[in-house]
Amino acid sequence: RELLAVAAILTTIGGFKKIFTDTITSTAALNRFSTSLGLNQEEVVKYELAAKHMGGTMEEMAATIVTANSAVNAALTTRDWSGLSEAQLYGAHLERVHNGIDLIREESDALENLRKKGWTEGMVSNAAGKMGLPLSLFPLVGHGTAALDTRLNEQNDLAKKTVAIGEAAEAMRKSL
């Protein structure tokens, strides 16, 4: 019995160690992800948390930010914005775009403006899809930047804590 109890304790400790290690690894990865995109880490975290809160996933928001950032970087490098023609077609002001988050914000305003012009919710959702915004993120990004900012601001405290944990996790990862 004592041997089984010790085995159970060791198994539990091993499980906690794995959870702790996985948490450090994923939190540190978030830190590196934001930095590699040249974006403000807290802002990226707020978008991911807001997406999760609105029924999407953090991973899908991260992928959307990466895709948007790549498209914007390519356009800025080549001065060829044709890869973002759908966003422009629906009213996004590309001259205001400097990174992926700027693009998402412009697309959000463009979608809200379509709604104001009398487009049905289905038509606006379809336009979002054509601009490359996943349907699961539409509740967050499909209603203009005023609504988007409200959702992002709701995530301020948690985002700050997540960033602080991410920075500590990255420092710990580097020291291991």
Q: Name the more confident of 130 and 32.
A: 130
Neighbours of 150 (CB within 10 A): 11
Please tell me which residue, 96 or 163, carries the higher pLDDT value: 96
**Chain-centre distance for alpha carbon 64:** 7
Asked whether the predicted pLDDT for residue 26 surpasses 60, the reply is no
- Determine the pLDDT at residue 4: 52
**In 10 A of CB 43, how many CB atoms?**
16
Name the pLDDT band for 25 (thresholds 50, 70, 90).
Answer: low
Q: Lowest mean pLDDT: which of 33-37, 103-107, 108-112?
A: 33-37
State how far the Cα of 122 lies from the Cα of 138, in Å rounded to an integer.
11
Query: Please, are residues 82 and 63 in contact by the beta-carbon 8 Å criterion?
Result: no
- The answer on pLDDT for 157 being more than 50 is yes
pLDDT at 176 over 50: yes
Query: 176, exposed or middle or buried, with CB in 10 Å at 0-12, 13-18, 19+?
Result: exposed
Residue 111: closest CA among 98, 97, 130? 130
**Whether pLDDT at 24 is above 60:** no
CA distance 67 to 88: 16
Instruction: Please give the DSSP secondary-structure letter assigned to residue 121.
Output: H
